[in-house]
Amino acid sequence: MPRLVLASGSRWRRQLLDRLELPYAWQSPDIDETPRPGESPSGLVHRLALTKAQHLADEWPQHLIIGSDQIALFAGEVLGKPADLAAARAQLARFSGNRVRFVTGLALVDTRHGRHRVCHETYDVVFRALSEKEIANYVEREKPLECAGSFRMEGLGITLFERLEGDDPNTLIGLPLIRLCALLREAGLDPLGAATE
């Protein structure tokens, strides 16, 4: 059975991957996440997800390595993680009463066979109208500095929304599990059974 590695230091992605009940190792890759001039949102998350996984390939031969990266899109602008609490408050104030699209790139690098697959999933969040006090209270309580979009859906962030729209809510947290399961099965690792290869 192929062995699994998660190329991420995110505890949220680890918690999601834990749900598949597969043994895995994890390691945080150190890569430059700066967008390139003219790079599309899907191109950016594809590149970063794949770069994260490939960055660990030499250290993990004979493994399947998962890479993932996420951005928020609002009014045609790519938004990453807020620099500080003031930036998080400002970001949430912009989102109030609006729709924000999250694009999550997913890569699976198979170091056994020198192959990889890359894809992305989208998930839309419609924010309810938020008061300044609600935003300030949320940011103070949750301090969502490591989250694209300045909220943590798996925590108090759920209180900010009017509705969520997409195929897999795990996409919003940062690891699209439905698509990941499909990629793992294609690579010979079925989460519900024995290896298929």
Main-chain dihedrals φ then ψ at residue 78, nearest 5 degrees: -85, 125
Q: Which of 18, 32, 69, 190 is catalytic?
A: 69
Main-chain dihedrals φ then ψ at residue 66, nearest 5 degrees: -100, 130
Active site residue 58: no
- Burial pattern 161-180, b for ≥16 Cβ within 10 A else e, equals beeeebebebbbbbbbbebb
**Active site residues per annotation:** 69
